[in-house]
Amino acid sequence: MPLARLVVPNIEAHGFFLSNNHQQPLGPGALEYLREGDLFLVHSMDRLARSVDDLRKIVLDLTKKGVHVQFVKENLTFTGADSPMSNLLLSLLGAVAEFERSMIRERQREGIALAKKAGIYKGRKPSLTPAQVAELRKRVVGGEKKTALAAEYRISRQTLYSALG
């Protein structure tokens, strides 16, 4: 099920999935696609933005364009002619969602630290073995291009540079 849905009059509904990139929460151009009279359905506030400031800005920008924004989980709709109580609820529930997210991240960091201490969590497996790194060093000293080596080993150039130190 999409986390957010766009409802446009006389047009079939389109689903947009949110990413972790808060710069483009709905994919390129999704928010610009919305027009006056559209209804933008979002599962919950925390799916639209990661901070209260971002949430308020997105909702304000959309309602200024004449777009109605509805949060299903919170049962709130914003039309641009909102009451002070609606704005209070937007800020309050947005702050609670932001706080909840920060608590989850803090607990996650604590759990990872404990797992590392216990030797359970070791992180990601290295892309290159020590033998491969030694081979790469020899080949780089021999004058081979780093871009070609990275492609041959199927690693990024950044990984290559990090391995070479």
Reported as a pLDDT band with limits 50, 70 and 90, residue 26 is low
Predicted pLDDT at 8: 47
Predicted pLDDT at 125: 87
Q: Which residue has the higher pLDDT, 21 or 34?
A: 34
Cα angle: 36, vertex 39, 40; to 5 degrees: 110
Whole-model pTM over 0.85: no
Mean pLDDT on 51-75: 89
4-117 domain in CATH 3.40.50? Answer: yes
Domain boundaries, the chain: 4-117, 130-164
* Type of residue at 125: K
| Residue 49 near residue 25 (C-beta atoms within 8 A) | yes
Reported as a pLDDT band with limits 50, 70 and 90, residue 20 is very low
Reported as a pLDDT band with limits 50, 70 and 90, residue 36 is confident
Q: Give the tens place of pLDDT for each residue, 67-118.
A: 888 888 888 899 888 788 888 988 998 899 889 889 999 999 999 999 989 9
Q: Using a CB cutoff of 8 Å and minimum separation of 24, what contacts does 16-19 make?
A: 18/47, 18/48
Predicted pLDDT at 29: 66
